[in-house]
Amino acid sequence: MKEIAKYEQAAATIKKAIEYSRLRASQAGNSELLSLYYGIGRYVSLNTRTGTWGTDAIRHISNKLQQQLPGLRGFSETNIKYMRLFYEKWFPVVNRQPMADDLEIDGKMLLSEIRQPTADVLDWKDFLSLSFSHHIEILTKTSSLEERLFYIHECAAHAWNKYTLRDYIKSNLYQNRGTAPNNFHQSIPDEKFVIKATMSFKDNYLLDFINIENIGEPEKDIDERVIENEIVRNIRDFIIRFGTDFIFMGNQYRIEYAEEEMFIDLLFFNRELNCMVAVELKTGQFKPIYLGQMNTYLSILDRTVKKPHENPSLGIILCKDMNKSFVDYVIRDFTKPMGVATYKTSKDMSEELKKALPDIEDLRRLLDNNSEF
């Protein structure tokens, strides 16, 4: 009976916090709810992990809350355990003592604000913009802080709903991005921009909408311009594969400096990175001279085309093949931010791989649906 009385008291304490938080939430929005769940998670964690409460405590507390607040949602036994997880996963990052203006309910710190860490670990605006459901989806299906931060940022930047987020985590978006050889760390002084740039590109692109066999030319005669024309003809499909934040500026984009005229295969603007992205297409193995060519393009873009409020331009070289160790070695001495990736066309892919790929029409619909949120 003493245990039951203890749990009833705990439920009453949480009930007061919920009622007071509802009032504050009407004014403060999502951050108030996250603070409430964080505070409850702390309260539950400190009592369950130290053995103060018995093993059945959370179920008893949840049942009592349902009785005292009829129609209350979000405080099932499972969700209260999620609140504990939310606190325990983020406390090492937040890692602070209670502040003087934190609110106590019956002497328990249940409405402590989740304050931005002293260290610039994450984008606090992104963190607070996500719902608790989004956070739990990320916490239960990722394994590292870096992965959590990646999905928080992507979710906030693209306004993914919970189901879209779930699909991207299931497809392992984090592991499939940011692995292309690049010199971003050496050439970009802003660490946050380095992370965003690195995560914006893959090391291999499946351009399955390009079927060389249907172009009508022998494979030995296929050159960069043929691939480029196919990309331009299917530019929406290319952007779906490349990334939804890309805006197409043109192909064979003309730049000029000191009466020297040059043409960039494909030029994009990336809204998330706030910079131009030059893409050069190569049908063969990577060669070091491609880096010198791209370095020149980026210098001229930044001098003659870039707007004052934009970030420095980035370059991506798409090759049919490369030696990643060699590229990692030679790219680091260039001053302009560049990356090298490979691509496959429909002809290069096995039937098993083609079947495993999502249908391009499904990806179009996904892109259209995302734009609604």
132-141 vs 77-94: helix crossing angle, rounded to 10: 80
**138 and 158 co-located in one domain:** yes
pLDDT per residue over 122-170, tens digit each?
Answer: 677 888 888 899 999 999 999 888 889 889 988 887 778 888 888 778 8
**63 and 109 co-located in one domain:** yes
Q: Token digits for 137?
A: 């989806």
Task: Enumerate the β-bridge partners of residue 315.
Answer: 278, 338
**193 and 342 co-located in one domain:** yes
**100 and 128 co-located in one domain:** no
**316 and 338 co-located in one domain:** yes
Q: How many CB atoms lie within 10 A of CB 3?
A: 12
**152 and 76 co-located in one domain:** no
pLDDT per residue over 214-265, tens digit each?
Answer: 444 555 445 677 778 778 877 777 777 777 788 999 989 999 999 999 999 9
**153 and 104 co-located in one domain:** no
Q: Are strands 338-345 and 246-257 parallel, antiparallel or unpaired?
A: unpaired
- CA–CA gap between residue 278 and residue 39 (Å, rounded): 47
**What percent helix, strand, coil does the chain show, rounded to 5?**
55, 15, 30
**96 and 202 co-located in one domain:** no
Residue type, 295: N
pLDDT per residue over 305-337, tens digit each?
Answer: 999 999 999 999 999 899 988 998 999 889 999
**227 and 351 co-located in one domain:** yes
pLDDT bin (cut points 50, 70, 90) of residue 364 is very low
Which residues lie closer than 8 Å to 28 by C-beta, 6 or more apart?
none
Range of the domain at 299: 184-370
Where a domain ends, among 79, 94, 117? 117
Question: What is the phi/psi pair of residue 358, to 5°?
Answer: -65, 145
Residue type, 57: A
Segment 76-90 shows an average pLDDT of: 93
Q: Are strands 103-105 and 108-111 parallel, antiparallel or unpaired?
A: antiparallel
DSSP letter at 333 equals T
Q: How many CB atoms lie within 10 A of CB 225?
A: 13
Count of domains forming the chain: 3
pLDDT at 184 over 90: no
Q: What is the mean pLDDT of the chain?
A: 78
According to the model, what pLDDT value does residue 292 have?
95
- CA–CA gap between residue 160 and residue 267 (Å, rounded): 27
CA angle (304, 229, 356) in 5-degree steps: 115
Lowest mean pLDDT among 174-183, 269-278, 281-290: 174-183
Task: Enumerate the β-bridge partners of residue 254.
Answer: 263
Asked if 314 and 197 count as a contact pair (C-beta separation under 8 A), the reply is yes
Q: Which helix (H) or strand (E) holds 56?
A: none
pTM of the model as a whole: 0.53
Share of the chain above pLDDT 90, in %: 27
**225 and 333 co-located in one domain:** yes
pLDDT bin (cut points 50, 70, 90) of residue 196 is confident
**169 and 297 co-located in one domain:** no
**292 and 146 co-located in one domain:** no
SS3 at position 271: coil
Q: Which residue carries 């984090």 as its tokens? A: 174
Task: Enumerate the β-bridge partners of residue 228.
Answer: none
pLDDT bin (cut points 50, 70, 90) of residue 367 is very low
Here the CATH number for the domain that contains residue 333 is 3.40.1350.10
Share of the chain above pLDDT 70, in %: 76
Where a domain ends, among 106, 141, 175? 175
